[in-house]
Structure 1
Amino acid sequence: MEINFLALFVAALSTLVIGFIWYSPKVFGTIWMKESGLTEEKMKGANMPVIFIMAVFFALLIAMILQFLTIHQWGAFGMIGGGGAADIKPSYAAFMNDYGTAYRTFKHGALHGFLAGLFLAFPMIATNALFERKSWKYTFINSGYWMLCFMIMGGIICVWQ
């Protein structure tokens, strides 16, 4: 199997699109700013190009691991040690012929993205929020964003072959 870097990059960029909508004042932006303790003045002093570049970089790191969580065929590839073409056994080739595109749907990737969000992103954000003394609104807004991002990213990565 080969890594589809274009799919990973598009999935990473999707987090910005989702963020623009999710954190807009008409959706959760106003509540998020209040719960975060941010003001319009504090928001204006930020170096937004650097923030967006770093956000895409971090989302790319997330996309790298999501491919292994959403595409089952990576498990079969890992079982053979991930070697080159000379190392591929006939059993692996037969498996890939039979199941190479099984479960490679947007819906399936979104399901695994949801599970990753629920069991990885939500507990991490909730733990930080507890120690930072943030509200449950803050926790649910931020974890909801990442759960949705993981779903969209997982769907993109899984379906794009």
Structure 2
Amino acid sequence: MNVNFLALVLAALSTLVVGFIWYNPKVFGNAWMKEVGMTEADAKGANMAKIFGLALVYAFFIAFILQFLVIHQFGVFGTVEGNVNDPQYKAFMEAHGDAFRTFKHGALHGFMTGLFLILPVVGTNSLFERRSFKYVFIVGGYWAVCSAIMGGIICMMK
């Protein structure tokens, strides 16, 4: 199986789009800033090129691993150790091909990854950092939504 780098880049870019909406002051932006103790002046004094650039790199890392969780065919590919000539692989692909390669299916698995993997990581870190549950729900919710959209994009782009 080939890695679709265009899908991974688009999925990574989607996190910025979601972030512009999610962290808008009219949505969760003000609540998030209050939870992290940030002011408008603090936000304006940041190196945004560095922040958005690194955020995009990190989102690409997430997208890269997410493809293996949302595309079932990668599991079969791994089972035959990458041997596309293996009769089991050929039989599976003949029988199922691109089954479940939809936005909806990828979004489901992406959301489950966000909810059951990323949210607990954010929550655990937040416990030690003495952050509030409100912070956990804002940041964890963001990543659950992002993971769903990323999973959908990755899964549907063959």
Q: Same fold (TM over 0.5)?
A: yes
1:98 counterpart letter in structure 2:
A
- Which deviations, in whole Å up to 9, do the C-alpha atoms of 1:32-55 show, x marking residues without a partner? 000111111111221101111110
What does residue 12 of structure 1 align with? Answer: 12
Q: Which runs of 4 or more aligned residues in structure 1 lie more than 6 Å from their structure 2 counterparts after TM superposition?
A: none
Query: Residues of 1 paired with 2:55 and 2:97: CA distance?
Result: 32
What does residue 155 of structure 1 align with? Answer: 152
Aligned equivalent of 1:99, options 96, 99, 115? 96
The offset of 1:129, in angstroms, is 1.0
What does residue 22 of structure 2 align with? Answer: 22
Identity of aligned residues (%): 62
What does residue 82 of structure 1 align with? Answer: 82
User: Is contact 2:11–2:63 with CA below 8 Å preserved after alignment?
Assistant: yes
SS at match of 2:81: coil
1:52 aligns with 2:52: yes
SS at match of 1:108: helix
Query: Residues of 1 paired with 2:35 and 2:86: CA distance?
Result: 55
1:33 counterpart letter in structure 2:
M
1:101 counterpart letter in structure 2:
D
What does residue 32 of structure 1 align with? Answer: 32
2:53 counterpart letter in structure 1:
I
User: Is contact 2:80–2:88 with CA below 8 Å preserved after alignment?
Assistant: no
Query: Residues of 1 paired with 2:74 and 2:140: CA distance?
Result: 27
* Greater alpha carbon shift after TM alignment, 2-11 vs 114-123: 114-123
Aligned equivalent of 1:138, options 135, 140, 146? 135
Query: Residues of 2 paired with 1:95 and 1:61: CA distance?
Result: 29
Number of aligned pairs?
158
Q: TM-score, normalised by structure 1?
A: 0.95
The offset of 1:94, in angstroms, is 2.2
SS at match of 2:101: coil
Query: Residues of 1 paired with 2:58 and 2:95: CA distance?
Result: 35
SS at match of 1:26: helix
- Which deviations, in whole Å up to 9, do the C-alpha atoms of 1:22-41 show, x marking residues without a partner? 00011000010001111111
User: Is contact 2:110–2:147 with CA below 8 Å preserved after alignment?
Assistant: yes
Q: Which runs of 5+ in 2 are unaligned?
A: none
- Which deviations, in whole Å up to 9, do the C-alpha atoms of 1:49-72 show, x marking residues without a partner? 111111010000000111000000
What does residue 64 of structure 2 align with? Answer: 64
CA RMSD in angstroms comes to: 1.0
